[in-house]
Amino acid sequence: MSRLGALYPAADLPYVSLGTSPTPVRRLDGLGVSQEVWLKDEAAFGDGGWGGNKVRKLEWIIPEAHRRNKKTMFTVGGIGTHWGLAAALYGREHGLHTVLGLVDQPIDDHVREQTARLDASGATIYRYPSVARLKLAAPMILARHRMPYYLPAGGSSPVGSLGYVEVALEIAEQVAAGELPEPATVVSAVGSGGTVAGLALGFRLAGLSTRVFGAVVNDSFRLDAVTTSRLATKTADLMRSRGADIGKVVIGPDDLTATSKWMGETYGATTPEGANALALAERVAGLELEPVYTAKALAAILEGNIPGPILYLNTHGPRPVA
């Protein structure tokens, strides 16, 4: 049973386990900052296909697709999308076909490796040079595949965001067990908003005062504190509508931070700060990051201005999981 299911047993929030929790936490030393920094390694999450934070969202999205009697999921992202790969692989294991609308992004070795995985995933793939072209093509894709279950980029719907409400409850358990101090700040990359929205809501439900800091890495759509807090509110509304007695908890723009300071020129572009963070993580912690998301989130921590103790969320699924 999920932690959310145990906390709200009367709620109609279908769930399927796709990974083993809790994911490990450990202190990160040698980063050269004065704050105490801890790691929660979400790369370890996922029992098959692909790891990372996307699988957390699929634990709620896949059973919701079945609840809606859908056989196909349609979602979008860049040509190197981790989310699209996870959706294709885990969806296939649970009787769902995945259709992907993908937009070009800067090409590097990481993106080449990811596109090869996507090509082998069994998904139906449509590729476009821009978001505008994808939007024009979307009605055709929906009609061709008989109105599939549409999921926004990154799975960041209210249903998908439940995955990180669940993680916030998991973090609260680890704090209570003495595995890490209560974080003043949890830091995560923001590619579509669902992770930080779910965390912000989940910490309030868990009774923690932890604040969420999001390093925005995507400029394809708006991902500021207003937008991400609105998603948290919609997630709370979903929980209430499904019978979860969560009271009047409200998440507003002042309850979290979302900044694009470390993004670089555009989505997928590398930055010197990110490259430095990626190399430092490997050298001092044996931690495998990637340049688009997780290295930029660590770069935000390395600047040294975020209140600690800090819990850094490594959301990357760096390899197929056996």
pLDDT in tens, 76-90: 998 988 899 999 999
Domains located in the chain, CATH noted? 3-53+157-314 (3.40.50.1100), 69-155 (3.40.50.1100)
- How far is C-alpha 178 from the chain's CA centre? 25
- How far apart are alpha carbons 8 and 166 in whole angstroms? 12
Please state the length of the chain.
322
Cβ neighbourhood burial of 5 (10 Å; 0-12, 13-18, 19+): middle
Q: Using a pLDDT cut of 90, give the percent of the chain over it.
A: 85
Written in H, E and C, the secondary structure of 51-82 is CCHHHHHHHHHHHHHHHCCCCEEEEEEECCCH
State the pLDDT at residue 322. Answer: 38
Give the residue-averaged pLDDT of 178-182: 98
State the pLDDT at residue 125. Answer: 96
pLDDT in tens, 62-117: 999 999 999 999 999 989 888 999 999 999 999 999 999 999 988 888 789 888 99
Please report the DSSP string for 134-150 in residue order.
Answer: HHHHHHHHHHHTTS-EE
The residue ranking higher by pLDDT, 283 or 322, is 283
pLDDT in tens, 221-261: 899 999 999 999 999 999 999 999 999 999 999 999 999 99
Alpha carbon separation from 276 to 255, 288, 314, 317 (Å, rounded): 30, 13, 16, 20
Contact predicate 62/91, CB 8 Å: yes
Q: Roughly what angle, to the nearest 10 degrees, separates helices 82-93 and 109-119? A: 20
State the pLDDT at residue 50. Answer: 75
State the pLDDT at residue 47. Answer: 85
> Computed from CA positions of residues 156, 227, 44, 107, in that sequence, does the dihedral angle turn out positive or negative?
positive
State the pLDDT at residue 321. Answer: 43
State the pLDDT at residue 82. Answer: 86
pLDDT in tens, 195-227: 999 999 999 999 999 999 999 999 988 999 999
pLDDT in tens, 19-35: 999 999 999 999 999 99
Chain mean pLDDT for the chain:
94
Contact predicate 86/49, CB 8 Å: yes
- pLDDT higher than 80, residue 281: yes
User: Contacts for 24-27 with beta carbons within 8 Å, 24 or more apart?
Assistant: 25/174, 25/179, 25/180, 25/311, 27/180
E strand or H helix that includes residue 219: none
State the pLDDT at residue 52. Answer: 85
pTM: 0.93
- How far apart are alpha carbons 99 and 150 in whole angstroms? 9
State the pLDDT at residue 49. Answer: 65
Backbone angles phi, psi at 243, to 5 degrees: 95, 10
State the pLDDT at residue 11. Answer: 97
pLDDT in tens, 285-300: 999 999 999 999 999 9
Tokens of 230: 């609105």
State the pLDDT at residue 221. Answer: 85
- pLDDT higher than 80, residue 315: yes
State the pLDDT at residue 316. Answer: 85
Contact predicate 54/83, CB 8 Å: yes
